[in-house]
Amino acid sequence: MMRNGSGIVGGSAWVLAWSLLFWGLCTSPRLAAGPLRNSPQHAAVSLRETVTPSALHDAKTGGLRIIGRADWEGGPRAIVCVTTSQGACATLPVVVKDGVFRCVYPEDFKDAPPLTACMLFIDATADSAFDTSRTGYSQAEAAVIVYDSRKRLVPDLPSAFTNDLLDGKGRTDQRCAEWPTVRTLINLYMHSQAARMVRKGRMDFDLARPDDFTWFKSNLTLHDFDYRDRDWSKPLGHRVRRTFWQSVWNTWFNWTNDNPLDGNPANRSQSNYMPYAFANDFSDELIMYLMRLRNVEPLDDNLRAMCREGAENMMAMQHREATNFALLDWRGKQETYTTGAFRYGMFKNGVYMTEKTGWLNNPRSLDYINGGVLNGRAMWAMFLPHGRPGWPALRPAGLGEKDCRRAEAMISYLCGYNPWGVRLFNETGGVYNWVDDTDRDGSEDYLKYDMYPESTAFCQIGTMHLLRTLSGN
């Protein structure tokens, strides 16, 4: 997917679900650097039958039937572990017969909670330690999204990737209400086969460990933690509120995509580059969070505050004066952006992104010309009224059966029906942005550690629209 793809504005729900999922799944046209292939030539264990033809399951129909295939010499059994998006975990040894194993969740699993609207993360292997770091180890990973059409319930999709770890009582980090769930899901991701493939996995990782928590805040979250705990009774530059989603995690920002704070391009220290949010990326995340307001038991018990604060920061990026805020760019040209136009973005310290700063420090980065995608997607977030000015209209009409099947096929790919047999829509709530076919044989063989706001938000928003149609919500 391109860094800044086209915006989707208006249209019926099937166009939204379809289009958002499509953009979220578009792969990069660039060749991956080097000959690395990280998809297995032969997988000893697979869960593909569990997520095809659909990775969506209606709780009204009863338990989820988990079906897998195993081809190994480790014995006639597999170990299946199911973790819910609320953080509950249950494990079951199952018999492998003629290369196939089957079980039903939650009925076959001791101490598993009753099935309700949620996302289930399923792992299968022959090793009860689930040690993805071991040489020759094979593990299948899949996800199933559960809704309930009888009760008209849709799940709160995972959000550890964008969570602020701040609850409604003002408690933060290990003390906040979200911590047990976020810790479980981040640890599950870091121990996963997918994380190992993209060279981020660590079996000894534990979010509760101070060093690992520090690593998480710099490498695996879009939410700004650096300024979260300041006194927000006063603004920080143009940033007026706490809730702020960056375009990527802290360590992504460097001399290739940002301007040096000290003006010295030779100083490539990480601290010399200030993270920022594009207006369109921030808009995408805001819409995703606004849609959570209708979900059953959202993870963030301060969700309304996050949406309100995010909307105020979004509005702070809108130019309210008749003057033109555009500056001369690297070409010596000046765009025209006056009343109502949105700034290109904002650094986390409340400074607006302008020509020659941030992403636009690169003379080839011309995303802002002729309106670009920056204004289109910011308008999508802020000017589709739904009960009050500035709140988006998110009332889906019905999808046709053909449209639903196509969208479900896309979700199956995200949830495990892919060449790697892993979750591209993963435990953190993030969605990988870059897959590639390096040898051009027609099958993707390269998965990169790129989880961006666009791929994450587009896929989550489209999935939520589809689930609401299927559940009658």
The boundaries of every CATH 2.60.40.10 domain in the chain are 13-159+398-471
What pLDDT score was predicted for residue 473?
A: 74
What pLDDT score was predicted for residue 425?
A: 97
> CB under 8 Å to 78, separation ≥6 — which residues?
45, 68, 70, 93, 94, 96, 101, 124, 125, 126
Q: Can you tell me which residue has the tokens 């997918």?
A: 194
Per-residue confidence band for 24, with pLDDT thresholds at 50, 70 and 90: low
CA angle 7, 9, 13 (to 5 degrees): 120
Per-residue confidence band for 378, with pLDDT thresholds at 50, 70 and 90: confident
In b/e form, how buried is each residue of 327-346, taking b as 16+ CB within 10 angstroms?
Answer: eebeeeeebebeeebbbbbb
**Higher local confidence (pLDDT), 33 or 450:** 450
> CB under 8 Å to 454, separation ≥6 — which residues?
1, 3, 4, 5, 23, 24, 280, 281, 284, 433
Q: Which helix (H) or strand (E) holds 214?
A: helix 210-219
Mean pLDDT of all residues in the chain?
A: 87
The amino acid sitting at 113 is P
Please check the confidence at residue 459 and state whether its pLDDT lies above 90: yes
- Of 71-75, 120-124, 193-197, 248-252, give the lowest mean pLDDT range: 71-75
pLDDT tens digits, 128-150: 888 888 888 889 999 999 999 99
Report the pLDDT averaged over residues 73-96.
91
What pLDDT score was predicted for residue 423?
A: 97
User: Which percentage of the chain shows pLDDT scores above 70?
Assistant: 85
Report the pLDDT averaged over residues 144-169.
96
What pLDDT score was predicted for residue 380?
A: 67
Rounded to 10 degrees, the C-alpha dihedral 192/193/199/201 comes to 20
pLDDT tens digits, 184-212: 999 999 999 999 999 999 999 999 999 99
Q: Which two tokens stand for residue 295?
A: 């979900």
- Of 46-60, 101-115, 442-456, give the lowest mean pLDDT range: 442-456
- Of 61-65, 74-78, 85-89, 182-186, give the lowest mean pLDDT range: 74-78
As a whole number of angstroms, the distance between CA 425 and CA 414 comes to 5
Report the pLDDT averaged over residues 228-253.
97
Per-residue confidence band for 27, with pLDDT thresholds at 50, 70 and 90: very low
Into which CATH architecture does domain 13-159+398-471 fall? Sandwich (2.60)
Report the pLDDT averaged over residues 67-73.
85
**Higher local confidence (pLDDT), 138 or 20:** 138
Report the pLDDT averaged over residues 463-467.
91
Report the pLDDT averaged over residues 12-32.
45
pLDDT tens digits, 392-445: 433 444 556 777 788 899 999 999 999 999 999 999 999 999 998 888 888 888
